[in-house]
């Protein structure tokens, strides 16, 4: 490396550090704030039928190599009582989106840099922008109204405490009025709900249970307080297929029982097809397509979604090798100005070298961010966006 290039690199690094330090200070100042006036985070839903509305959410990590734009302008809704499947390649920002709802990004590096996460709080009738809500509000919401099931149960369960200690602590924390006996009773009822009726289970340690049972305990903890929204981040990836099917049945059953909404994050398109009412496809920190499960599975419009659908194993098709999308995701620190999928796309047109494609409505429920569909989008706009368009969609079976 020449001396000049070396000097420039050092200068750039210094600037990144200076910028990050400013961001860390801003974050620490915000965290130290004892009182956040309600006017700073109370807002209105666009549609009161939704429980969550992401509106241009930006969640960044300020690292030594630059700003990682993990989630960069994500907008989608989670309707009450419905299941939303979130799919996309590893590293596309699925977990960061869900952690942003809970405000569990690893600060000060990880921060919500912009946008709103509107939460329709049933218990108070208020709408809170979770991106700005006070920590006190968040503590009331976490586990109580919104709960999370993580992929690996051992990251949630503490190996040195019994199942009873952990489940009872979770219940009594959210129901301080309950006495010890009632809490234990509630813990047993919740375990029964997830199919665990074992004598002395409350005295067992996590290592004394099977993987499937541990995941059920985690689900029991997530459901102990009848949440309005359950975020399940790869809840079945670590489990074998029989247990996986049981856990999915359980989630479905419980969703109907308590009319909760589910945000289901998974790589498994089969699970999404089985569970989701709506599907959101993410790529490199952005939503590239969204619609009903039928829209996405039977009429995928974005070349990335089409590739994803082609890469599924199909029962009635015999192939030597499954299709895989060639190329790699762009570096989240240095994202291009044009479509992020351009370097892997087989359907590129001239416009693809221009500005990043806007989100286009193909129907009332189906949206895509791709230059190929500009005409179909314009036709929908002309028709008032009411009629379902079939032009511009491709069937992939
Ligand atoms: N603590 C962190 N510091 C820096 N970058 C991070 C951090 N956590 C996540 N990222 C980056 O944010 C981006 C999105 O990560 P995320 O965990 O949301 O991916 P994902 O879609 O959930 O992937 P997977 O399917 O593998 O779980 C990735 O580029 C990742 O490297
Ligand atoms: S905008 Fe262009 S490059 Fe991007 S997915 Fe659509 S066709 Fe491909
Ligand atoms: Mg993840």
Q: What is the 3-state secondary structure (H, E, C) of 341-384?
A: CHHHCCCCCHHHHCCCCCCEECCCCCEECCHHHHHHHHHHHHCC
Kindly state the percentage of the chain with pLDDT values over 90: 55
pLDDT, position 397: 35
56 φ, ψ (degrees, to nearest 5): 55, 45
Distance 13 CA to ligand 1 centre (A): 22
At residue 392, does pLDDT exceed 50? no
Q: What is the position in ligand 2's atom list of the atom closest to the CA of 340?
A: 4
- Containing H/E element for 211? helix 211-223
Taking residues 79-102, what's their average pLDDT?
94
Q: Which residues contact 198 (CB under 8 A, 6 or more apart)?
A: 204
Tokens of 35: 């009182």
Are 224 and 216 in contact by the 8 Å Cβ rule? The answer is no
Taking residues 49-56, what's their average pLDDT?
97
Taking residues 279-293, what's their average pLDDT?
97
Average the pLDDT over each of 79-88, 102-111, 309-318, 352-361 and give the range with the smallest value.
Answer: 309-318
Taking residues 298-314, what's their average pLDDT?
88
Q: pLDDT confidence of 319, banded at 50, 70, 90?
A: low
Are 69 and 356 in contact by the 8 Å Cβ rule? The answer is no
Q: Which of 186, 377, 188 is nearest to 289 (CA)?
A: 377
Q: Which of 251, 243, 244, 249 is nearest to 227 (CA)?
A: 251
The rounded distance, in Å, linking the Cα atoms of 232 and 213 is: 16
At residue 386, does pLDDT exceed 70? no
Half-sphere exposure of 87 (CA within 13 A, CB side): 26
Average the pLDDT over each of 178-187, 249-258, 316-325 and give the range with the smallest value.
Answer: 316-325
> Which has more pLDDT, 280 or 225?
280
Q: Which of 64, 62, 72, 66 is nearest to 110 (CA)?
A: 62
Nearest ligand (C-alpha, residue 233): 3
Torsion, Cα 149 155 157 160, to 10 degrees, reads 180
> Which has more pLDDT, 358 or 240?
358
Digit-coded pLDDT (tens) for 339-361: 999 999 999 999 999 999 999 99
The rounded distance, in Å, linking the Cα atoms of 253 and 273 is: 17
Q: Which residues contact 126 (CB under 8 A, 6 or more apart)?
A: 42
Q: pLDDT confidence of 78, banded at 50, 70, 90?
A: very high
**Ligand 2 neighbours by CB, cut-off 6 Å:** 302-303, 339, 341-342, 345, 347-349, 352, 357, 370-372
Residue 309's DSSP bridge partners are none
* DSSP of 183-208: HHHHHHHHHHHTT---TTGGG--GGG
Q: Nearest residue CA, atom 1 of ligand 2? A: 370
Q: Which residues contact 236 (CB under 8 A, 6 or more apart)?
A: 215, 243, 244, 247, 248, 266, 268, 271
Distance 316 CA to ligand 2 centre (A): 30
pLDDT, position 39: 92
The rounded distance, in Å, linking the Cα atoms of 155 and 235 is: 12
> Which has more pLDDT, 315 or 129?
129
pLDDT, position 396: 38
> Which has more pLDDT, 111 or 315?
111
> Which has more pLDDT, 332 or 285?
285
At residue 389, does pLDDT exceed 60? no
Distance 343 CA to ligand 2 centre (A): 9
Q: pLDDT confidence of 42, banded at 50, 70, 90?
A: very high
Are 58 and 71 in contact by the 8 Å Cβ rule? The answer is yes
82 lines ligand 1 (CB under 6 A): no
| Other residues' Cβ atoms within 10 Å of the Cβ of residue 377 | 21
68 lines ligand 1 (CB under 6 A): yes
pLDDT, position 129: 97
Average the pLDDT over each of 47-56, 65-74, 265-274 and give the range with the smallest value.
Answer: 265-274
> Which has more pLDDT, 317 or 341?
341
pLDDT, position 101: 96
pLDDT, position 387: 45
């Amino acid at each position: 490396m020449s001396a000049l290039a070396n000097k420039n690199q050092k200068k750039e690094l210094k600037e990144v550090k200076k910028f990050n330090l400013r961001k860390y200070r801003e974050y620490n100042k915000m965290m130290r704030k004892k009182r956040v006036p309600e006017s700073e985070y109370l807002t209105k839903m666009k549609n009161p039928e939704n429980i969550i509305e992401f509106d241009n959410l930006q969640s960044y990590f300020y690292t030594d190599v630059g700003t990682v734009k993990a989630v960069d302008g994500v907008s989608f809704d989670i309707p009450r009582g419905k299941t939303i499947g979130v799919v996309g390649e590893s590293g596309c920002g699925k977990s960061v989106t869900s952690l942003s709802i809970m405000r569990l990004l690893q600060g000060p590096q990880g921060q919500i840099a912009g946008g709103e996460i509107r939460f329709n709080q049933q218990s108070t009738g208020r709408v809170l922008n979770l991106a700005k809500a006070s920590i006190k509000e968040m503590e009331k919401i976490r586990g109580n109204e919104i709960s999370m099931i993580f992929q690996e149960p051992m990251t949630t369960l503490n190996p040195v405490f019994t199942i009873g200690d952990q489940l009872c602590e979770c219940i009594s924390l959210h129901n301080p009025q309950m006495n010890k006996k009632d809490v234990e009773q509630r813990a047993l009822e919740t375990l029964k709900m997830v199919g665990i009726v074992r004598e002395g289970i409350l005295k067992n340690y996590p290592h004394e249970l099977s993987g499937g049972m541990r995941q059920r305990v985690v689900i029991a903890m997530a459901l102990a307080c009848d949440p309005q929204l359950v975020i399940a981040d790869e809840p079945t990836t670590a489990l074998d297929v029989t247990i996986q099917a049981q856990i999915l049945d359980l989630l479905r059953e419980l969703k109907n029982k308590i009319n909760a909404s589910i945000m289901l994050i998974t790589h498994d398109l089969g699970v999404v097809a089985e569970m989701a009412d709506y599907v959101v496809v993410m790529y490199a920190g952005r939503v590239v397509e969204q619609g009903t499960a039928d829209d996405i599975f039977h009429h995928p419009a974005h070349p990335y979604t089409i590739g994803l659908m082609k890469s599924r194993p199909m029962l009635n098709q015999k192939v030597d090798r499954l299709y895989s999308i060639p190329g790699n995701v762009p570096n989240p620190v240095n994202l291009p100005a044009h479509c992020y999928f351009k370097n892997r796309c087989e359907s590129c047109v001239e416009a693809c070298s221009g500005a990043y494609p806007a989100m286009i409505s193909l129907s009332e429920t189906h949206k895509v961010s791709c230059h190929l569909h500009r005409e179909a989008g314009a036709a929908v706009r002309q028709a008032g966006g009411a009629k379902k368009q079939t032009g511009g969609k491709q069937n992939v079976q």
